[in-house]
Amino acid sequence: MKGSIYKVLGLLLVAYSLIYGLLTKVPDLPLLAESIRNLFYHVSMWFAMVAMMAASFWNAIRFLGTEDLGKDRRSISLAEMGMFFSFMGLFTGMVWAKFTWGAWWTNDPKLNGTAITILIYLAYFVLRNSMDDARKKARISAVYNIFAFVMMIVFIGILPRMTDSLHPGNGGNPGFNSYDLDNGLRMVFYPAVIGWILVGTWIASLRYRLKALQE
């Protein structure tokens, strides 16, 4: 019973953000108009993705310290979940970009960062599938996971701040946090982030148990 509290909480928060996100009053901004509601669905995907990848990274470090294969299963399950969130974030972002910037894809540092992140983690899955011995697979892919996560943070967290971007908060554009993101938006956005992270953890834990049974 105790273990299911976070699952129920996650589901409630996601349901709240999905439903209330469509009902709540949003600021009427030029260009963005009602599409600003996508903030709840698009941006929360990235927060959830980074949380999943960070947890995967942490489990990879712990695997190298303990040599416990359970940590490795956690690491791969969380990375798969993060991959799912990154695809969802990409699709919701593409729809948003089409309606606000006029194109499905633009040469924007954040979009490049996303593309690279997806390539990095696809390479991680390819690497895992190219080995048979469980212990060796776990060790080598943990090494790659740690290196890849650091590179991803550099690419999506540091480099975009040094170049211009269409996204808010970069390269002289007004940021959401300075004056765009009002408290009404926050009331839905933060619960959405927490809800998706909890649901992601839940699904990752299911995959973890499935992998443990398969082996």
Chain residues that interact with another protein, rule: CB under 8 A: 64, 112, 116, 119-120, 123, 126-127, 130-131, 136, 139-140, 142-144, 146-148, 150-151, 154-155, 158-159, 162-163
Please tell me the distance from the alpha carbon of residue 142 to that of residue 64, in angstroms, as a whole number: 7
- Report residue 183 CA to chain centroid gap: 23
| Residue in the structure block whose two tokens are 């019973």 | 1
CB closer to another protein out of 132 and 215:
132
With contact defined as beta carbons under 8 Å apart, do 7 and 22 qualify? Answer: no
Question: Which residue in 1, 17, 29 sits closest to 188, CA to CA?
Answer: 17
Considering the complex, state which of residue 99 and residue 147 has its C-beta at the smaller distance from another protein: 147
| Closest separation in Å from C-beta 58 to another protein | 15
Q: How far is the CB of 11 from another protein (least distance, A)?
A: 34
Of the pair 130, 173, the CB lying nearest another protein is at: 130
| Nearest distance in Å: CB 64, another protein | 5
Nearer to another protein, 76 or 148 (CB): 148
110 vs 121: CA distance, rounded Å: 17
Q: Work out how close the CB of 84 gets to another protein at its nearest, in angstroms, rounded to a whole number.
A: 18
Q: Which is nearer to another protein, 82 or 191 (CB)?
A: 82
- Distance in Å, CB of 121 to another protein, minimum: 9
